[in-house]
Amino acid sequence: MPHVRRSRPWQLPERLVTSEPLVLGRRSILAGLGALAASGLVPRPSEAAVPRNPKWTADDRKLTREDLATTYNNFYEFGSHKQIAKAAEALVTKPWRIRIEGLVEKPFELDVDELLTKVELEERIYRHRCVEAWSMVVPWTGFPLARLVELARPLGSAAFLEMQTFLDPKTAPGQRAFWYPWPYTEGLTIAEATHELAFLVTGVYGKPLPKSMGAPIRLAVPWKYGFKSIKSIVRFRFTEERPKTFWEEVADHEYGFWANVNPDVPHPRWSQKMEQPLGEAEKIPTKIFNGYAEWVAHLYPDLRDPVYFR
């Protein structure tokens, strides 16, 4: 992964940001209101609201402007630079099959639309801290990853959850770069995957997730560096052994499996003490576990062990 850029393409005139009205995406209506919809009693999907979970608000920070968050991206499948939004439009997200396999009672496949009929959507405002030292605050729409784990019915022997992005070099030119270990792979322990903060995202700013941000379904694990939050997921596999992740495979001395945010553990090539919020003039100090320590620190047996912070 390259250094944080010195130029700041996102630095546009500052103005106060207000959240868009919270609206449901088309898919979302299937989730919560399927039966009612048939009766004609519900408003059009775009007018129905997903409830905001007041527990996750990031009060100390301003929401990142939508036009910045959706156009300043890391999505190596579409290029190793930030301006991939246009190229990512080539991704076909409908239909979108998801496979659940490995150490589960019975492997199965389903479409993301069907998955959304089985979950309840909510909105959460999360901080996101990239390992490159830029950050953002966005309102995600989605549901707890724990709910997917529940639907998957893993066996007692499952200790990890591996997740994978689509593989389609025809659509995603970045995947023709043979030196990367495609498809993008990430993993969590079962304790992390079932933690209340681990969130599967299907929308942002009250709209369906844009392709640049990992449509139709991506992960948000806000206490870890952004590369753990894998985009456009097609496969969830429960395993006994720790999965080898994409960035570990590329450079394991720089990007480890755990990747918990810690300002006191520098990246081998740069400091992690400060971060640059997208669209803001000043850098701010980075917090341990990206400010979520009170909820997640107990997941890690020894906080002095730097292995948990790479």
Q: Which residues bind ligand MTE (CB under 6 A)?
A: 73-77, 130, 165, 184, 213, 226-227, 229-232
The residue (of 36 and 251) whose beta carbon lies closer to ligand MTE is: 251
The amino acid at 3: H
The residue (of 115 and 172) whose beta carbon lies closer to ligand MTE is: 172
Mention every residue, 6+ apart, whose C-beta is less than 8 A from residue 110: 97, 98, 100
Residue nearest to ligand MTE (CB): 226
In the complex, minimum distance from the CB of residue 268 to ligand MTE, in angstroms, rounded to a whole number = 16
Sheet holding 160-165, edge to edge: 108-111, 97-102, 233-239, 160-165, 185-189
In the complex, minimum distance from the CB of residue 226 to ligand MTE, in angstroms, rounded to a whole number = 3
In the complex, minimum distance from the CB of residue 233 to ligand MTE, in angstroms, rounded to a whole number = 8
Cβ atoms of 132 and 3 closer than 8 Å:
yes
In the complex, minimum distance from the CB of residue 138 to ligand MTE, in angstroms, rounded to a whole number = 8
Neighbours of 85 (CB within 10 A): 17
The residue (of 102 and 222) whose beta carbon lies closer to ligand MTE is: 222
The residue (of 1 and 103) whose beta carbon lies closer to ligand MTE is: 1
The residue (of 33 and 82) whose beta carbon lies closer to ligand MTE is: 82
The residue (of 50 and 230) whose beta carbon lies closer to ligand MTE is: 230
CA distance 212 to 72: 9
The residue (of 27 and 127) whose beta carbon lies closer to ligand MTE is: 127
In the complex, minimum distance from the CB of residue 41 to ligand MTE, in angstroms, rounded to a whole number = 35
